[in-house]
Chain A
Amino acid sequence: MFGEYSLSELASIFAMQGFSGLILFSVFVLMALGLAIIYGQMGVINMAHGEFMILGAYVTYLVSRAFGQLPHALFNVYFPVAMVAAFLVAGALGAFVEWALIRRLYKRPLDTLLATWGLSLILQQLYRTIFGAREVGVTMPEWMMGSLKLTDAIEVPVNGVLVMGIAVAISIAVGVMMYRSSWGRQVRAVVQNRTMAGAVGIDTGRTDRLTFAVGCGIAGVAGSAFTMIGSTGPSSGQLYIVDTFLVVVFGGAASLLGTIASAFTISQAQSILEFFLSGSMAKVLTLLSVVVILMLRPQGLFALKLRK
C-alpha cells in the first residue's frame, strides 16, 4: 500500500495524519477538562455537559454576528471576546444549575445523572426554539483561515493550530488553578473530606458552586473553540457525552494529568485505526478497548492513591 509513495511523501502523510490526531486530541482535552473538574473533583455527573459546550458555541456565534455589524478591523479580534463571553455565560448558567438542582442531590449521584439528563433535553429544545434546528457556523476572520506551510509538502491548518493552542493554555490554567491557587486547595480539601473541610472553615457550599461554575465555563470555552472547526446544531452536544465521560474515567477520574494522557491515548488510537479501517469501526474498536480496559482496571490509567 505504500509502494506508490516516495519516502518523503510518506513522511509528510504521517506528519499530517499525526497532526489531525493532535487536533482530535485537543478537542478531547477541551471537552474533558471541564468534566474532569466537575466529575473528577466533585464526583457530580453532569449529563448536560455537552449542552454547556453548545451554549459556548452559540454565544460565539452571537458575538460574531454582533461584531459583523462593527467596523471590519474589530471583526478580526472578536474571537477572544467571544471566548470570554462563552466562559461567563456558561459559568453563570452552571452556577444557577448548581444552586437550583445539583446542591440538593450531592448525596444521590444516580439521581443527579437523571436530573441533568432532563436539563440537557430542556436545553436542547431551547436551542432548537431559539436558533432553529439547522446547524449554524461562524464566519472566521481571514487570519484564522488557510494553512501554514511548514515545508514544501507539509501544511497544517491555522484553526487546528489555534485549537491546540487553546487546549494547551486551558490545561495549564486549570492545572495552576487546581494545584496552586487557594481555590484549588479548597476544592481538593472538600473532595477528600467534606466534613473536615467544613470544620476548618472552608465554605463548602460556595466552593461547590464555584467549582461547578468553573467546570461549566470551561465547557463553554471548549464549545467556543469548536466553532473554528465545525458547525453547531442543537443536539451536537449529545454526540460528545460518551467520549467525554470515557476520556475522564479512563484517565483515572481524580487526576488531571490522567485526563490528558487518556485523551492522547484515545485520540491517537482512533486516528491511527481510522487510517486502516472505516471510521465507525475505528470508533467501535477504540471505545470497546477502553470499556474492556476499564472493566479490568476500573481505577483508570492514573489512580489517586488514597486511604479511605
Chain B
Amino acid sequence: MRFLSASDPGLRRQLIGLAILAALLLVALPLGLDAFRLNLFGKYLCFAFVAIGLVLCWGMGGILSLGQGVFFGLGGYAMAMYLKLEASTPEATKIQSTPGIPDFMDWNQLKALPLWWEPFHSLPFTLFAIIALPVLFAFIIGAAMFRRRVGGVYFAIITQAIAAIATILIIGQQGYTGGVNGITDLRTLHGWDIRPDSARITLYFVCAGLLLLAAALALFVQRSKLGRILIAMRDQEDRVRFSGYDVAAFKTFVFCLGAAFASVGGAMFTLQVGFMSPTIVGIVPSIEMVIFCAVGGRLSVIGAVYGALLVNLARTSFSESFPELWLFGLGALFIAVVMAFPSGLAGVWVDRIEPLLARLLRRKTTTPASPNAPGAPEPAPLARDPAAGRRPGAPSLNALSANPLPATPMTDAARAAL
C-alpha cells in the first residue's frame, strides 16, 4: 500500500489541497454567500467537472478535445428530458392540443412523444444514461480515431466539428429538442421541487460533494500507474507503444473518463440552473472549458477547479460592469496562459508562492535574531531543491516549469495525415 503511505510528500500535499478545497466548497462558501450567489457558484462548479476531465485528457494524456461541450450537453439534456417529462403531466399541460407531451413539442405540432424520449420517464434509466451515453459516444470517437493513431491537432479539429454538428442538430430539430431555447421550465426531480432556495442549497452541496469525489478519483488516476503511462504517452508515444502498451486503449479510456465527468457536470448544471440549451454545447463554450483547465494549470486537478471558479467569477463580474471589456480580457487570458503561464495557477503557486512562503516561514522560525546577517544560510535552496521540497508526486510539473511544455509528439500516421 505504497499509495496510502502518509510519508509520501506528494500524496500528503495533494490530500491537503483536497482538504482545503473541501473546506472552501463545503464550509466557507455556504457560510459566506447568500442563496443566489451560492447557486451561481454551484453553476461554476459544474464546469469544474469538465476542467478536471480535461486535466486527465489534455494535461496528462495530450488529447485536446474541443468537443467537451457535447458531453456536458449529453448529461445536461438527459437530465433535462427527465425533468421535462416529469413537468409535463397531462394535468399540467391540459391546455395543449396534445396534453402530456412537453410544451415545445406541442408548439411544433408533434402529436405524440417520440420513442427515444420514452425511457427518460424513469429516473434510474436517466441516471444510467448520464454516465453511459457520453461514455459510449466517447468510446466510438476514441476507438475510431486513436486506433488509427490520430491525435493532437487533428483530433481537436474533429471534436470541434462534432460540437458544431451537435449544435446545428439541436437547433434544427426544434420539435424534438426544444431548438435554440433549449428545454426550459423544469420543476421537480422525482417529486422534489428543485426551484426554492432550500432545494438550490441542497443541490449545491450535492454538486460540491460530487465534484470532490471526481477530484479524488482524478487524483487517484493521476497518481496511479495509468497516470504515469499517460504522461509517457504524451511525451514519447512511440516508445510507450514499443514497450508493449496498448496506447489507443489507454487514450480511449481517459477520453471516456473525461466525457463521463463532463456529463455529470452537465446534469448538475441542468438541476441547478433549471434549463438546458444548445448555447452550452457548441464550439465557443467547449473551447472556453479548455481555458478553465489551462488557467488552473493543465496538470493540476485541484488547480482546474480553481480555474473554473475564477474564470467564471471574472466573467460574471466583468460582464456585469464592463461587457465590452470581457471579450478582450478573455482573449488576452487565452494568449497569456499559453505564452506566459503554461502551467497555470498551479504552476505560479508551486514556482513562486510556495518558495516565498517557505522562505518567510523559515526566516521566522530559524533566524529570528539576525534576519539580515550576511552569514545567515540562504533559505532558498531548501525550497528550490527539487528532490526535497517540490512536488515529487507530480514530476511532470517540475519538468514543465523547467522547460515550457514539451512538444506533444504526433504519431507518424497523424503526421502523414496533417
Residue pair A108, B407 in contact (C-beta under 8 Å):
yes
Cβ-defined partner of A110 (8 Å) among B156, B164, B417: B156
- A106-149 CB mask vs B (1 if < 8 Å, else 0) is 01111111110111111011001100000000000000000000
Residue pair A115, B339 in contact (C-beta under 8 Å):
yes
Residue pair A295, B144 in contact (C-beta under 8 Å):
yes
A303 at the interface (CB under 8 A from B): yes
CA distance A253 to B158 in the complex (A): 13
Residue pair B153, A113 in contact (C-beta under 8 Å):
yes
Cβ-defined partner of A245 (8 Å) among B64, B161, B287: B161
Residue pair B290, A308 in contact (C-beta under 8 Å):
no
Residue pair B327, A114 in contact (C-beta under 8 Å):
no
B148 at the interface (CB under 8 A from A): yes
What is the size, in residues, of chain A's interface with B at 8 Å between Cβ atoms?
53
Residue pair A115, B335 in contact (C-beta under 8 Å):
yes
A306-B416 contact in complex given A115-B339, A122-B327, C-beta closer than 8 Å: yes
Residue pair A118, B335 in contact (C-beta under 8 Å):
yes
**Which residue on A lies nearest to B294, using beta carbons?**
A114
A107-B165 contact in complex given A114-B334, A115-B335, A118-B334, C-beta closer than 8 Å: no
CA distance A114 to B416 in the complex (A): 23
Residue pair A280, B158 in contact (C-beta under 8 Å):
no
CA distance A290 to B145 in the complex (A): 14
Q: Which residues of B contact A287 (CB under 8 A)?
A: 161, 164-165, 168
- B126-165 CB mask vs A (1 if < 8 Å, else 0) is 0000000000000001001100101011101110111011
Q: Which residues of A contact B337 (CB under 8 A)?
A: 114
B350 at the interface (CB under 8 A from A): no
A121-B334 contact in complex given A253-B418, A291-B165, A298-B413, C-beta closer than 8 Å: yes
A113-B417 contact in complex given A108-B408, A119-B335, C-beta closer than 8 Å: no
Cβ-defined partner of B331 (8 Å) among A39, A109, A119, A306: A119
- B386-418 CB mask vs A (1 if < 8 Å, else 0) is 000000000000000000010110101111111
Cβ-defined partner of B415 (8 Å) among A111, A120, A308: A308
Q: Which residues of A contact B413 (CB under 8 A)?
A: 298-299
B328 at the interface (CB under 8 A from A): yes
B92 at the interface (CB under 8 A from A): no
**Which residue on A lies nearest to B169, using beta carbons?**
A284
CA distance A308 to B412 in the complex (A): 7
Residue pair A298, B154 in contact (C-beta under 8 Å):
yes
A120-B331 contact in complex given A113-B64, A115-B338, A278-B172, C-beta closer than 8 Å: yes
B283 at the interface (CB under 8 A from A): yes
Cβ-defined partner of A118 (8 Å) among B332, B407, B410, B414: B332
Give chain A's interface secondary structure class: helix
B333 at the interface (CB under 8 A from A): yes
Q: Which residues of A contact B227 (CB under 8 A)?
A: none
A74 at the interface (CB under 8 A from B): no
Residue pair A298, B145 in contact (C-beta under 8 Å):
yes
Residue pair A295, B331 in contact (C-beta under 8 Å):
no
B330 at the interface (CB under 8 A from A): yes
Cβ-defined partner of B327 (8 Å) among A111, A125, A288: A125
Residue pair B144, A254 in contact (C-beta under 8 Å):
no
Residue pair A111, B338 in contact (C-beta under 8 Å):
yes
CA distance A291 to B145 in the complex (A): 11
What is the size, in residues, of chain B's interface with A at 8 Å between Cβ atoms?
53
- A234-266 CB mask vs B (1 if < 8 Å, else 0) is 000010011001100100111000000000000
Residue pair A121, B164 in contact (C-beta under 8 Å):
no
Q: How far is the CB of B326 from chain A (nearest CB, A)?
A: 8
B75 at the interface (CB under 8 A from A): no
**Which residue on A lies nearest to B148, using beta carbons?**
A298
Residue pair A121, B162 in contact (C-beta under 8 Å):
no
Residue pair B158, A291 in contact (C-beta under 8 Å):
yes
Cβ-defined partner of B330 (8 Å) among A109, A121, A238, A296: A121
Residue pair A117, B165 in contact (C-beta under 8 Å):
no
Residue pair A118, B152 in contact (C-beta under 8 Å):
no
Residue pair A110, B152 in contact (C-beta under 8 Å):
yes
Q: Which residues of B contact A281 (CB under 8 A)?
A: 172
Cβ-defined partner of A104 (8 Å) among B150, B164, B330, B339: B339
Q: Please provide the chain B residues from 297 to 336 with a CB less than 8 Å away from any CB of chain A in the complex.
A: 324, 327-328, 330-335
**Which residue on A lies nearest to B408, using beta carbons?**
A110
Cβ-defined partner of B407 (8 Å) among A107, A125, A249, A290: A107
**Which residue on B lies nearest to A286, using beta carbons?**
B165
- A42-60 CB mask vs B (1 if < 8 Å, else 0) is 0101000000000000000
Q: Which residues of A contact B164 (CB under 8 A)?
A: 242, 287
CA distance A271 to B327 in the complex (A): 35
Q: Which residues of B contact A253 (CB under 8 A)?
A: 417-418
A153 at the interface (CB under 8 A from B): no
B102 at the interface (CB under 8 A from A): no
A294 at the interface (CB under 8 A from B): yes
A-B contact pairs, 26 of them (CB 8 A): A43-B153, A43-B418, A101-B335, A108-B405, A109-B407, A109-B410, A110-B62, A110-B408, A111-B405, A112-B338, A113-B64, A114-B291, A120-B331, A121-B331, A122-B331, A122-B335, A124-B327, A125-B328, A253-B417, A278-B172, A281-B172, A296-B148, A298-B414, A298-B417, A300-B417, A303-B417
A-B contacts besides A110-B58, A112-B338, A300-B417, 9 pairs, CB < 8 Å: A108-B338, A114-B294, A118-B330, A124-B327, A125-B324, A280-B168, A281-B172, A298-B150, A298-B413
Which residues of A are in contact with B by a Cβ distance under 8 Å?
Answer: 39, 43, 45, 101, 104-105, 107-115, 117-122, 124-125, 128-129, 238, 241-242, 245-246, 249, 252-254, 278, 280-281, 283-284, 287-288, 290-291, 294-296, 298-300, 303-304, 306, 308
7 shortest interchain CB distances as A-B pairs: A118-B334, A280-B172, A121-B331, A122-B331, A125-B327, A107-B407, A295-B144
